Amino acid sequence: MMIKKLLAAGIGLAMMTGTALAGEVKIGFITTLTTPAGIIGKDMKKAIELAVEQMGGKMGGLDVNLIIEDDGFKPDIGKQKTDKLVKQDNVDFVAGYIWSHVLLASRKSVLDAGKFLISSNAGPSPIAGKLCNKNFFSTSWQNDQTPMAMGEVLNQKKVKSIYIIAPNYAAGKNIVAGVERTYKGKIVGRDMTRWPQQLDFSAELAKASASGAEAIFIFYPGKAGGAFFKQYEQAGLRGKIPLYSVFTVDSIALGKFQKANMQGVLGSQMTNFWAPDLDTPQNKKFVSAFKKKYGTYPSFYAAQSYDSMFLIKSAVDAVNGDLSKKDEMRAAMRSASFPSVRGKFTYGKNGMPIQNFYLREVTKDADGVWTTRIVSKVYENHQDPYVGECKP
């Protein structure tokens, strides 16, 4: 009897803490804070904390309550944490998600509860197509878009054949599909490697080298990217077969590369929707504040996360803090009227940005710090190829 009473009290208490306090907007943020990939999550965390700080901790007159959770780089844990945010914390928005498989596992928990889901990185194809939802918005890109831009760059450079090496998971497959969608030359070989365990690419590099391909295309986010670059150098392929990548070289990796003096990375080219030197007012404000506060360049993960917070703010501002007005909040986000680091863009009906993509390369800045800078614009207002499958 006593136990039952205690349980009832406990549940009651849980429900009370679950309901949002008046005057507060709760934002759940799922990212990876443990495992070596945790370094990405930390960069994202820095960016959202900077954004909230710049907002004075307020959105639409409400106090911002950020709840950051760690997915441990695992879809099952990501889903558990998402459930916790939705059911226990009763957040108003769930944002974040580095990994496509984590987002795919977690999306239902958020969307079924009628809450807003904001991806700050992952952009798996089903979410842009068949599984699209009116309450989903991305402040990054759909996975295929960046490699599609890279395919276009390879066409422009008249590269006749490529060898593709990418990890065997949701995003890896999208990235490969993306580059193959636009690249017009020959694909002489394709290796999908174990993810995330495999860090030794000796067998794949030997195959690529023997294939006679003119270039190698890779996608390796996090520590696998650094490992790949090193082994590519050690195999003596630099100067023989140029290496093109997407989402592999970022400010996090570059710090490490510079420390190890991996000169071969300088000049390396990739496509991205953003670079630290992108000339927009919001980006200048973001990059300089980030460098001032944390002493390093922000990564693209950070830029996207920063945008997520301003997207959410635009929704809360539009209803003056009345979080019950979901339709108006959705309309405000759909208009993409917030100041974005990428400049002006629009949203497709699937919540994916229609935006520019750039070719960027690794270079030294005025202080000798390795960073990326924009070389040219590859796509203007580019929309993902899955929007046609989206029937909201």
Partner 1 sequence: MPPFIQTAKIPMDLTLLTIQFMNGLQLGVLLFMLAAGLSLTFGIMDLVNLAHGSFYMAGAFISASIIFWTGSFVWGVLLAIPLVGLLGLVTEFLVIRHLYSRSHLDHVLATFGIILVFDSLVHIFWGSNGISVPLPVWLDGQVEIFTGMVFPTFRLVIIITGLLMAVGLYILVNHTRLGMLIRAGASDRTMVSALGINIQLLFAMVFTLGAVLAAIAGMLIAPITEASIGMGGQIIITAFVVVVIGGVGSMKGAFVAAMLVGLIDTLGRSYLDDLFKLVMSPGAAETAAPAISAMAIYILMAAILAVRPQGLFPPKVR
Return phi, psi of residue 382, to 5°.
-90, 135
Q: How many CA atoms lie within 13 A of 133 on its CB side?
A: 21
Q: Could you tell me if 97 and 111 are in contact, meaning their C-beta atoms sit under 8 angstroms apart?
A: no
Q: How far apart are CB 34 and partner 1 at their closest, in Å?
A: 8
DSSP conformational letter for 168: S
Which positions from 31 through 90 interact with partner 1, judged by CB under 8 A?
A: 34-36, 38-39, 42
- Under the binding rule (CB under 8 A), the answer on residue 361 touching partner 1 is no
Under a CB-based contact definition with an 8 Å cutoff, are residues 225 and 248 in contact? yes
* Sign, Cα dihedral of 295, 301, 307, 309: negative
Please tell me whether residue 168 binds partner 1 under the rule CB under 8 A.
yes
Sign of the C-alpha dihedral computed for residues 72, 75, 79 and 80 taken in this order: negative
160 counts as binding partner 1 under rule CB under 8 A: no
Binding status of residue 334 toward partner 1 by CB under 8 A:
no
Q: Contact, 76 vs 137, CB < 8 A?
A: no
Q: What share of the chain is helix, strand, coil (3-state, %, to 5)?
A: 45, 20, 35
**Which residue, 140, 72, 155, is CA-closest to 106?**
72
Closest to partner 1 by CB, 207 vs 330, is 207
Structure tokens at 62: 């409400």
The residue within the footprint of partner 1, chosen from 60, 75, 129, 189 (CB under 8 A), is: 189
Kindly tell me which residue out of 126, 255, 339, 343 binds partner 1, with binding defined by CB under 8 A: 255
Q: For partner 1, give the closer residue by CB, 68 or 332.
A: 68
- Could you say whether residue 126 binds partner 1 (CB under 8 A)? no
238 binds partner 1 (CB under 8 A): no
Q: Is 387 in the site for partner 1 (CB under 8 A)?
A: no
**Which one, 27 or 224, has the nearer CB to partner 1?**
224
Binding flag, residue 296, partner 1 (CB under 8 A): no
Of 207 and 284, nearer to partner 1 (C-beta) is 207
Size of the site for partner 1 (CB under 8 A): 50
Which residues touch 280 (CB under 8 Å, ≥6 apart)? 340, 341, 342, 343
Residues near partner 1 (CB under 8 A): 34-36, 38-39, 42, 168, 173, 180-181, 183-194, 197-200, 202-204, 206-207, 210-211, 223, 226-227, 230-231, 233-236, 252, 255-257, 259-262
